[in-house]
Each structure stands twice: as structure tokens, then as C-alpha cells.
Structure 1
Amino acid sequence: MLHIKVPQLEEIVEGAISQAALQGEPQLISVVNEIDYTSPYAFLDRAQAVDQHRLFWRSAGEDFAMVGVGAAHRILSTDSHRFREIESVWNELQKKARVYDPSHVKGTGLVALGGFSFDTNQSDLTPWESFPDSQMTIPAYLLTNKGTKSYLSTNLLIFEEDHKQQIIHQINEQQHQLLHGDRQELKLPNRTSSMEMEAEKWKQSIKQATDDIKKGKLGKVVLARELRVKFNAPVELAAVVEELCETQSNSYVFAFENGGDHFIGATPERLVRVEKQELISTCLAGTIPRGKDEEEDHILGQRLLNDPKNRQEHDFVVQMIREAVEACCYNVEIPSAPVVYPLRNLQHLYTPVTATLENGYTLLDVVERLHPTPALGGMPQKQSVDYIRKNEALNRGWYAGPIGWFDGHNNGEFAVAIRSALIQGDEASLFAGCGVVEDSDPEAEYEETAVKLKPMLSVLGGSL
């Protein structure tokens, strides 16, 4: 990847057209400019007039957000080795790309955002037809906000038959729309109906799973259920994203739009982050509601810390992540006991994992080793995923899969796509799951999933 001082855009495009003709293949270019601070929600809203492929990411625990529009390049894979295939294509793209980025700020320039399905062997595509099994997108335009600073990356695939002035005119028009275009007042959706999908059948599947665990068929399995809701009008993506960011401050907020369908959520669960070879992962398993006040909060938190079922569920995750991280890292540090991690509606057991990534390993290597963790699949890993495929009534699609980003500076972060919804026009499917062990109670697990549905329900028409 070539980093040089940024000349005029016209000169860059003209040079890329010449190189495309000379080399007989299109040229990927990336130009980064620092701009006046720009609201990510305004950018996301205005982007609907530019392209129906929008992407949003807001990190938990730091003031960092990205909004992508359109696609300079999409990296797709349906291969069983999908993480390695996408890594290989990404590396080739970087080698050939010409990047004009004087800032070198993480999340600028060539950045790929996207996600992976939970299970590559799921045969029924419904209702995920718009979301490929694995897709990472290099946006045509990318707004990156870090603290009070904003950066705009413009990524283009230039062909030898392209005309310089036509490209420049299009870029100027689209950038003006994204940064200064008119906006309408954003409104949260008004829900008109909701329907739980086979709730009693789902409870029976929990009972069956506990019996199978007692018989030694597996150690733990996570089973999810679906809630379908309908609205009086198509959902405005930017309104929902902004509300999630304001109400779920400790969560990763994400949105991926394909062909007008939106997969959106606010997940507390980081899978892994890598920045300058320093790795952070998170063990987040075990759940209890928040209390009505500080005293009740503390009582519930202590109950969670001392609950054998939740501690066992959490320990499954800790041991699996330890094994995966130790295989490709050194300086691995894991606390001996979890602490309580509060969210707006829930409290979780939380154990952080820090390490240094060994040379030769990448973020996607770690993602491949970690997915799915016992918090989303179960134990043992393969048996639990097979069990889910055979016994869960829904197609998870990207729900519970890894979603995130990586850039050309070896930075990146992936979270687990829970607390989420697939929005299709004026309808949506919401998903929530729970970890089943041998002493799980179907009614208690049902109530736990009801609490987990609240963050998305709160922005999609309020509580049930």
C-alpha cells in the first residue's frame, strides 16, 4: 500500500485512469481528508439519497464512529474457510491500492465493514436473502469520527474507460449531498402489532435441551427465539441508530443495509479488538435484570455473581476464549473472577481478556478461532452448532455472527451481533437467546430473553 502526500483529486483520478489502461485492470484509490465535525446521524440520513448500501458502527467505551455509504468494493465468501478467503482478497487489494492518507487515523482510508452469518451450513435463506453469508464492504464514502474530529475517506475503483470530469462531478455532487444535503425531521417508528413466534414450542425446546445435556449429548447450548413486529410506516434507519446510541451508551451500535433491508442492533458483547498488536477480548455471559434503584441493583448483581448456573455458563466462555487467544498471543492476562457489567436494562457477568498478538496472526485469525463462543453457540462448539441448526425454529442469518471492521493499519474490532433486529420496510424480526445448561428452567429462560429484547423494542415503538 502506497502512502503519499495528497495531490488534487483531479490529478489522482487522471493518474488512476492512465494506470488502469497501462496495467489492463481497474485501480482502487483512497483519498482521506479531515473535514469539519459532521454528525454521523445526519450523514447516515442524507446517505439514503446516494445509495441503499449504508453501514454504521459506534464503538463501546470510546468516542469513535464510522458511517459508510455505497461500495467501492465488496469482498464476499461462501467458502467454509471464509475468514481466510476474505483475508486473502483484502491483502491483495491493499497491495495494489493507492492510498492518499496524511492523517493515518484508525478507521480512515481503506476500511472494510461488514459481517458473517452465524452458521455457513444454514440452507434456508429466509428472511436473510439480502445478506450474503460473508460480506465485507469498502465504502465509496466513509465518515470517521474520532473524538471531536471528522475525516472523510473517498474510495473509488477506476476503470480505463472512465472519464475524469464525469467522476469528479459525481464525487462533488455526492459529497455535497452527504455533508450539506437537506434533511427531514427524523421520527422513531410507531409499532402497530407484534407476534411471538411459537413461544410454547420454544419453551419445550429448552426442556428438551436440558434432557439432552443430562444425557451427555452436549455441555451447553444457546437457543434463540424471534419476535415479529409491524409498523405504520417504513422504519427510518438514522432515527433508530441515533436513539440506540443515546440510550445504549455501553454497547456497540451497528447497522448494515443491503438492498433496503437493515440489520441493526446495540450489542454489549465485544468479540475482539486489535490495535497496534494489542488485543482485547470479552467474556460476557450470565444475565440478570437491572434493579429499580441502586440498592436493588446491588442485590441483583450479587445474586448473579453467586448463581451457580450463571457462573458455570460464564466459565464456559472464559475457558474457550483463553484457549483461542493463547494459541496466537502472548502476555495473556485474565482475571480470576468476573465482575458485574451494568447496561441500561440488564446486568452481565464480565471478564476482560488482554494479550499481545503474535507476529503472523491477524484480527480475522482470532475471529475465526473465537466464533462462535459458548455464549452464542454452546459447548462443545461443533456439536452445539449442529444442535442449533436441527432444533432452532429460526434462521439466525447474521444474528449472533461476528460483525465489525478492519483497516489498512492493522486496526479493527468485531462484536457479536446480538440485541438486534432485521428490519424490512414496515416490518422487523427481533432476536434473543439464552444459554441452556442441565438445570435451566424454561420459564426463567423465556423471561431472560424477554428482557434481552427490550433494548431494540424500546426504539422500535416502546415496550410490549
Structure 2
Amino acid sequence: MSFLDLTATILNLLKKQSFQKERGNNHVHIWEHELENVLDLKNLTLHTQALPQCFLASKNAKREDLALGATKTFRRLDETETLDKYLEQENVQLFGGRRFDPMKNIGNEWRTLGDIYLFLPRIHFITSGNKTRIRINFIENDLLDNGELKPEVLFEIHDTISFTEQSQLNPYFSFDHQLPGESEWGRKINGCLNIFSNGKIGKIVLSRKQIFTAKSNTDLKIQLEKTKVEGNYIFYFKYSEEDAFLSVSPEKLFSIRNGRIEVDALAGSSPRGKSKSDDDRLGDDLLKNQKELNEHRFVTDSIMDSLTELGLKPEFIVAETLLKLPYIQHIHSLISCPLGRHTKILDLMEKLHPTPAVGGSPRELAMENIRAFEPFDRGLYAAPMGIIGKNYSEIIVGIRSALINGKNLHIYGGAGIVPGSTAEREWNETQNKMKAIAGLFS
């Protein structure tokens, strides 16, 4: 199906629709239709100019979602009451993310994003199995008194689903600087080790970033095109003309399916080997390394405690196995439990983020030290992002990530600092983690 045929098909179907007007401006009308052709949604993302736009591919490659345009946006952390009213409705799904730490002074590169950017998409494509469905979301203000769509809404939809055969330019990026530098990193690691001596804190996750500059603006779509699932989620979020964020992350914060929540624990890592025997040896050593196991158990203990505090009964589905990715291998556990009748999704996000894998333990003390030690705002790096809804949620942790802000490229990596950590080892670990995203720019 050509882009023109796709646009025409959707508009012709929509013009025949009318909706029953409801009371209340928060009610969402959802029109859904299964398309005759299966669409490659990553490819579709490469050819849209709609704003905002958000693409998510699941790590098992079984589902892709593409959200285009906004029926409703949420840009403030104090809008939780209104957000809850939307999320209580069947099949309403919001896309986007929130900043890692709203208490940290916002960096200039994140000002367009703000503390939170969640949106109810105007257009939502879902490819799963051998089917592609389209959902279009409307609110009361989009409808005439007779329930038909206002003409301006149809024009907006036309613009949102107008795809073009544009070519992608691959700009050259030159290295600018990194924060912190290697010597400063060493001082910060030593600062963490000194803090551990008081026995009040067991882990602090510190991150660093590399900054590159291009001669012209770009939007990471060349890099999105190069991504492969390979056990990772792929998340792309373009929220302004000059800003786009890409994460190739192995870690989810939580997912919701059929009334159950699943939570990943991913902490403790080692490089991949150059041969199978070398790789197996490194993996075996990782599972026997007490420092790495302790780091992993900080995470699993925290997740179990957080879910229990919400009145849930979590259990291990997978415990302390290896998750092998192209550049790195991790200790991995999977925790699951049924949701409570009155469990709110936003409460889950607030309770689970940040896990010790990206923050530290205990949480509040670790966050205080991250604010003190890190010389930049993480923004969406290591933050919760993805799809949030009552019946279906897929919230990932935005690690292995890059931000484009105008002509500037920011690439991020972090490491868990615990007693026994060394600056050199953690520097090399962050370098290895950044390879996963930096390799997309070669």
C-alpha cells in the first residue's frame, strides 16, 4: 500500500463515522480499524513529519506501536488527577516519558521536554502478529453537536497521516567534550566510596555523557533505521522540530497485560567475549562475582519491597540468569504479580522509579548524591518512558540512549558504584554501555 493510498483509505473510512456525544471533556472516543496490509511501523516513522511522534518496538519483536500527533498533552507533574481520569478509561493509552529527576535543575538541552511529556495520540498504529490496526482518538471538543467530526479535525488528521518519501541525511558528528572527564570521574568515584564508609548507603549509580556536534540539525532517524531489536526495546520520541530522543534499552520498568504486572531487574554486568568459550567464561564469572550479585540483589530487593508496599504479592518468574546483548551481558531477574483492583498506574511508576539499577539504594540518599555528583541533568536518560494505559502498559527504562538537541548529540552511560568499585573499571563499563548507541553513528 502506498502512502497516498493509506491516507485516502483512512480518511474515507473516517468521513462515514459519527460518535455519541458524552458528558464531560475527559471522555475519549476511540475509532479503531484493522488495515488490509501489515505495516512496518519503524519504516513509517522514517517518513512522517508529525509532531509529536513516538515509536516503540517490544524486545521480543512481537509488537510495534507508532503514535502521531496529539489529541491531548500533559506537560505538568501536578496534572495527576486529570491523568488518572484518562487512564481509568478502557483502551486509552498515553505515550511519552518524564524526566529522571524533576528535583534536579533542568538542563538547557531538556527545556523543550519539561518535567513530563505524555500525550494521547491523535493517530495510533499497532502492528502485532500479522495485523496492523489503527486507532484514532477524539475528545468531546473534536465533535459537532450531531456527533460528526469537525472539519478542522479531519484536516488535522490528513496532515498527521501524510507520509513522504523523504531521503534521510546522515550528518557527520565531531567529538566536542565529555562530562565528567576521566580525572573528575575518578574524584567522584572516590567521593562515593568515602560516603559508603558511614554504612548508611549501599549503592550510587553515577552516569556520564559524551557530547558531539554536527554541522546541521538532524533527528536520529538514520540511527533509528539502523536499530535491531536483539533483546532490546527500541524507543524513539521526537517532541519538537529540534529535539529527539532514542533509546535501545534492554530494561523495562514494568509492563501490564491481562491484569498482571511484570518488572525487570537488570544489574550486574560484564563485557561479551571474543569467542564462545571466552564469552561463557565471562558469563560464569559474572554469576559468581559477589560484588555484581550484591548490586543485582539491591535491585530485586527494592522491587519486591516497592510492590509489597502497594499491597501486591510479587514473585520471581526468572531469577539471576544471564541476559546476553551484542556488547554486554547482564544478570537478569523477572518479577511478576496480579494487580490490585484499585492499583493506579501512576502510583506504580512513582513507586518503582528509579530502581537501584539506575539510581541506587536507599533511593532518597542515592538521589541526593546523584544530584550532588553529576554535573548535568539526565533528562530522559534512565527515566521511565513508553506506553501507559489501564489494559496495556509498556514502560521501559531509557538507558543506552542519545538525545539530539539542535546540532548537539548527547550519548549517556551509567555504572553502579558500590563498596569495592574502582574508577577505571566503572569508566570502562560506561564506555562499553555507550558503544551500544554510539555504534549507530558509525
Q: Same fold (TM over 0.5)?
A: yes
Identity of aligned residues (%): 25
Q: Which runs of structure 2 are paired with 1:154-193 in the superposition (5 Å)? A: 154-159=136-141, 164=149, 166-167=151-152, 169-170=154-155, 173-174=158-159, 177=162, 181-193=163-175
Deviations 1:243-281 (A, max 9, x none): 12x2x4211111222222011111111111111112211
The residue number in structure 2 matching 1:123 is: 105
The DSSP-based 3-state class of the residue aligned with 2:59 is: coil
Deviations 1:297-351 (A, max 9, x none): 1011111111121111111001111111233465532269511110010000111
The residue number in structure 1 matching 2:177 is: 195
Q: Is the 8 A contact 1:272 1:415 kept in 2?
A: yes
Is 1:34 aligned to residue 34 of structure 2?
Answer: yes
The residue number in structure 2 matching 1:369 is: 351
Q: Is the 8 A contact 1:41 1:238 kept in 2?
A: no
The DSSP-based 3-state class of the residue aligned with 2:109 is: coil
Q: Which runs of structure 2 are paired with 1:384-463 in the superposition (5 Å)? A: 384-408=366-390, 410-459=391-440, 461-462=441-442
The DSSP-based 3-state class of the residue aligned with 1:255 is: strand
From the superposition, tell whether residues 412 and 170 of structure 1 become closer, same or farther in structure 2 (CA, over 3 Å): same
CA distance in 2, matches of 1:284, 1:195: 29
From the superposition, tell whether residues 403 and 175 of structure 1 become closer, same or farther in structure 2 (CA, over 3 Å): closer
Deviation at 1:213, TM superposition (A): 0.8
Q: Which runs of structure 2 are paired with 1:22-421 in the superposition (5 Å)? A: 28-35=28-35, 36-48=37-49, 51-79=50-78, 85-86=79-80, 88-93=81-86, 110-159=92-141, 164=149, 166-167=151-152, 169-170=154-155, 173-174=158-159, 177=162, 181-199=163-181, 200-244=183-227, 246=228, 248-260=229-241, 261-328=243-310, 332-334=314-316, 337-408=319-390, 410-421=391-402
CA RMSD of aligned residues (A): 2.6
Deviation at 1:355, TM superposition (A): 1.4
Deviations 1:23-73 (A, max 9, x none): 69586432111112112123212221xx23111111112411111111100
From the superposition, tell whether residues 25 and 326 of structure 1 become closer, same or farther in structure 2 (CA, over 3 Å): closer
The DSSP-based 3-state class of the residue aligned with 1:348 is: strand
From the superposition, tell whether residues 147 and 188 of structure 1 become closer, same or farther in structure 2 (CA, over 3 Å): farther
The residue number in structure 2 matching 1:106 is: none
Candidates 7, 10, 14, aligned match of 1:9: 14
Deviation at 1:230, TM superposition (A): 1.9
CA distance in 1, matches of 2:333, 2:222: 33
CA distance in 2, matches of 1:255, 1:32: 23
Gaps of 5+ in 2: 1-11
The DSSP-based 3-state class of the residue aligned with 2:246 is: strand
From the superposition, tell whether residues 198 and 29 of structure 1 become closer, same or farther in structure 2 (CA, over 3 Å): same
Deviation at 1:125, TM superposition (A): 3.2
- Amino acid in the other structure paired with 2:155: Q
TM (norm. structure 2) is 0.88
Deviation at 1:235, TM superposition (A): 2.6
The DSSP-based 3-state class of the residue aligned with 2:368 is: helix
- Amino acid in the other structure paired with 2:52: H
CA distance in 2, matches of 1:275, 1:202: 41
CA distance in 2, matches of 1:172, 1:115: 24
Gaps of 5+ in 1: 1-6, 80-84, 100-108
* Number of corresponding residues: 425
Q: Is the 8 A contact 2:219 2:244 kept in 1?
A: no
